[in-house]
Amino acid sequence: MDQPVAIITGAGRGIGRATAIELSKLGYRLALLARTESELRETERAARSALILPTDVTAPAAIQAAVDATMKEFGRIDAAIHCAGLAPVVSIAEMSVEDWHAVIDTNLSAAFYLARSVWPVFAKQRSGVIVNVSSQSARDPFSGFAAYGAAKAGVNLFGLSAAREGAAIGVRVHTIAPGAVETGMFRKIVSAEQFGTDRTLDPADVAKVIAQCVVGDLRYSSGEVIYLQKTL
């Protein structure tokens, strides 16, 4: 019961999976959230042991149920990390209302749902860490990234406001905004010929920065946006 616990969205692949692996090395027990159970099982094997919670992060009741299940299993939550993302490249003229809401809900609304659900736990504990994964698209989006860039800009400001509210109860909120990361989601947008692997970040490197936020090495960055970019 003394082992810390982290709940991670988007844990089936990419940055979420890498974060699960990194935190497992640091002794964290894990609750893993994503839509696809088979991908969560792969992360579970890589991270050695975890609570698997197939979850639609755009549904607030599903997020609350996952938090409740985590508390029932572990009795505590020390960190909540929102890695789930959706990044279609769609022009404003071609984007449907449904497309817009899907991007906003996955990237931004889900960050709020997760924070709202863990907040009473953190308030009772008088401690807790939230890390939200944003993007450099928040300040410099590709063409066709109107929804994604807007959602990530919202994540940045949500993190600042949440950090100010959380300070009174010992809660830190960090925002990590990487550039291009070598993930399946990125490769659906840009091919290796268009953007070489020598220019992309490794998800494991992003996960290490997330872990630094969680364990407190970067505790003085609460409320700030930490931009990550690979330099050649």
Catalytic residue among 24, 28, 152, 222: 152
> 129 forms bridges with which residues in the sheet?
79, 172
**pLDDT truncated to tens, each residue of the chain (232 aa)?**
689 999 999 999 999 999 999 999 999 999 999 999 999 999 999 998 899 999 999 999 999 999 999 999 999 999 999 999 999 999 999 999 999 999 999 999 999 999 999 999 999 999 999 999 999 999 999 889 999 999 999 999 999 999 999 999 999 999 999 988 777 787 778 777 788 778 888 999 999 999 999 999 999 999 999 999 987 6
Catalytic residue among 134, 135, 137, 222: 134
Torsion sign (Cα): 67, 2, 211, 48: negative
C-alpha span between 179 and 229 (Å, rounded): 5
Residue 202 sits in a domain whose CATH number is 3.40.50.720
10 Å CB burial of residue 91 (0-12, 13-18, 19+) is exposed
Q: Six-digit token pair at 26?
A: 């640091």
- When divided into structural domains, the chain yields a total of 1
C-alpha span between 111 and 132 (Å, rounded): 7
Instruction: Give the domain range for residue 122.
Output: 5-228
Catalytic residue among 24, 113, 117, 148: 148
Please report how many Cα atoms fall inside a 13 Å half-sphere around the Cα of residue 122, on the Cβ side: 27
The verdict on whether 49 is a catalytic residue reads no
Predicted local confidence at residue 140, as pLDDT: 92
The verdict on whether 134 is a catalytic residue reads yes
Kindly give, in sequence order, each residue whose CB lies less than 8 Å from that of residue 58, ignoring residues fewer than 6 positions away.
Answer: 102, 105, 106, 109, 110
Contact between residue 78 and residue 127 where contact means Cβ atoms under 8 Å apart: yes
Contact between residue 66 and residue 31 where contact means Cβ atoms under 8 Å apart: yes
